[in-house]
Amino acid sequence: MNVSVKPTTIETAATPVAEFHARLDALLPLIEAQASEAESLTHLTDDVVAAMRKAGIYTMLFPKAVGGPELSPYDAMTVVERLSYVHASAAWCVIGNNMEGTTMAIYIADSGIDKVFANGPDITIAGNGVPRGFARPVDGGYMIRGHWAYGSGIQHAEWVHSGCFVTDATGKDMIIQPNGQPKIVVTHHPRSTIKLLGNWDVLGLRATGSFDYTLSEGDELFVPTEMTYDFDIGAPRRGGAQGALGLAGYSAWAHSGWAIGVGRRMLDELVKVIVPRRDPFGQSSDSASFRFQFAQAEARYRAARALVHETWRGVSETCSRGEKPSLDQMTMIKLSLRHIHDVISDVGTFAHRASRGASLHNTAMQRCYRDIHSGTQHILMADQIVEECGKALLGLPGPTAQWTVFGVTG
């Protein structure tokens, strides 16, 4: 039973999400057919990437200011949900491109926008904004260096975004801000400036091509200020009210929709295995114990999905009124993100065990199980972020508090 095929959407004349679902309908058979090949390649096939680019799936959230459709976050999430149901790795690359491209589009200077989007919004971008490098300030920008990991989709990227700790002019000591946290900058540079280290040999999300990367030439690379933004930047330059979601909100958006789709697929694959199966204990679906546990798993999954949908519908409706999402809404964005991952981890493990060997084979069920337990490893699922949610729900932050990627400030 696939409850995610016909999602409820928020549709307006300016954001025809139904058109994106229609385009996705045409794409899904190709994506499913080439999923196994992509797993072997350790990155998406050229055909799938080209088709998703042509359909605009990589750029659904891009603001109108750079020529993007600027779908509401909820509407775009319903597309991601269906995509991750078919192939979690394809959806993972799509959420990365949407999140990284949108935040670049709302934050970098006009001169940077003119450079990146000179030919329109159809650009691909990958990399890792979590700081694994260092940025030494120089006249007009930064000299960056580092070794970054998890560059999902980087095989097909045209631009790379790389998070860096800002140092002093000597490059030796990190700059510490008044709040005690290190200063971080997100830098953007052409794909030609980096080299891949070819080390993506992992449990799940095998087709994402999340390779480590470093600079292709020399020890440092100059990145002009116009191609950077501060990790904890506040007000966006573009993107309307939903631009206020920022890196904190868009990163949570990305992984929430992804989790819903792959979790649904795992449970649906279990049904395919269980219903026809007989073993020495009889018809598997006749087991009262199994029926009870399966019903519980369905309830937990659907409740977690409903929380994500409720949260993002509310956020999207707030933005559609031209209002900035509240601290409470941002808190629920973060909390529902972690909750859906906890739930799909639990129900995925239940499905794996209940299948009695079916998910050991190279099937969609095995792939989903591996992908689920790879998605839960992301830094956005850290316990420390849930602690920050508890802090906000208790009303402890001050009146000017706001969410950053990893916690609440103020």
DSSP letter string, 231-300: TT--S-SSSTGGGGGHHHHHHHHHHHHHHHHHHHHHHHHHHHHHTT-EETTEEGGG-HHHHHHHHHHHHH
Position 2 pLDDT exceeds 60: no
Residue 8's pLDDT band, with cuts at 50, 70 and 90, is: very low
Q: Residue 146: phi, psi to the nearest 5?
A: 160, 180
DSSP annotation of 362: S
The answer to whether 61 touches 76, Cβ cutoff 8 Å, is yes
Q: How confident is the model at residue 305 (pLDDT cuts 50, 70, 90)?
A: very high
Task: Report the candidate in 167, 162, 166, 137 with the shortest Cα–Cα distance to residue 150.
Answer: 162
Are the C-beta atoms of 158 and 190 separated by less than 8 Å?
yes
pLDDT by residue (tens digit) across 216-259? 999 999 999 999 999 888 789 999 999 999 999 999 999 999 99
**Quick one: pLDDT at residue 233?**
86
Which residues are CB-contacts of 171 (< 8 A; sequence separation ≥ 6)? 134, 136, 143, 145
Q: Which residues of 56-90 are buried (b: 16+ CB within 10 A; e: fewer)?
A: bbbbbbbbebbebbbbbbbbbbbbbbbbbbbbbbb
Determine the pLDDT at residue 9: 39
pLDDT band at 283 (very low <50, low <70, confident <90, very high): confident
Predicted local distance difference test score (pLDDT) of residue 45: 98
Cβ neighbour number for residue 306 with a 10 Å cutoff: 11
Q: How confident is the model at residue 362 (pLDDT cuts 50, 70, 90)?
A: very high
Token pair for 338: 């972690």
Q: In the beta sheet, which residues pair with residue 135? A: 144, 166
Kind and range of the H or E run holding 393:
helix 383-393
Query: What is the reported pLDDT for 218?
Result: 95
Alpha helix ranges (H) inside 321-382 = 327-354, 364-375
Q: pLDDT at residue 121 above 90?
A: yes
At a CB cut-off of 8 Å and minimum separation 6, what does 344 contact? 259, 262, 263, 266, 301, 304, 372, 375, 376
Return d(Cα 327, Cα 408) in angstroms, integer: 9
Average pLDDT over residues 304-333: 98
Rounded mean pLDDT, 322-342: 98
Q: What is the pTM of this model?
A: 0.94
Residue 380 has pLDDT above 60, yes or no: yes
Over residues 126-152, the pLDDT tens digits come to 999 999 999 999 999 999 999 999 999
Q: Looking at residue 279, what is its pLDDT?
A: 86
Mean pLDDT of the chain: 94
Q: Residue 41 pLDDT more than 90? A: yes
Task: Over range 289-306, report the average pLDDT.
Answer: 98
Residue 11 pLDDT grade (very low, low, confident, very high; cuts 50, 70, 90): very low
Contact 186, 130 (CB under 8 A): no
Please report, as a single letter, which amino acid is at residue 408.
V
Query: Between 364-375 and 88-107, two packed helices, what is the crossing angle to 10 degrees?
Result: 40
**How many angstroms separate the CA atoms of 276 and 278, rounded?**
7
Question: Is the pLDDT score of 14 beyond 60?
Answer: no
In the chain, % of residues over pLDDT 70:
96
**What is the per-residue pLDDT for 263?**
98
Q: Which of 22-36, 88-102, 169-183, 381-395 has the lowest mean pLDDT?
A: 169-183
β-pair type (221-224, 228-230): unpaired
Q: Count other C-beta atoms under 10 Å from residue 99's C-beta.
A: 23
The HSE-up count of residue 16 (CA atoms within 13 Å, CB side) is 6
Confidence of residue 318 (pLDDT cuts 50, 70, 90): very high
Residue 210: per-residue pLDDT: 97
Both tokens of 153, joined, read 């989709």
Task: Specify the pLDDT at position 3.
Answer: 36
- Hey, what domains does the chain have and what are their CATH numbers? 17-116 (1.10.540.10), 125-230 (2.40.110.10), 241-409 (1.20.140.10)
Q: Which of 11-15, 339-343, 380-384 has the lowest mean pLDDT?
A: 11-15
Q: What percent of the chain has pLDDT over 90?
A: 90
Residues 105 and 238: beta-carbon distance below 8 Å: yes
Span 201-214, average pLDDT: 97
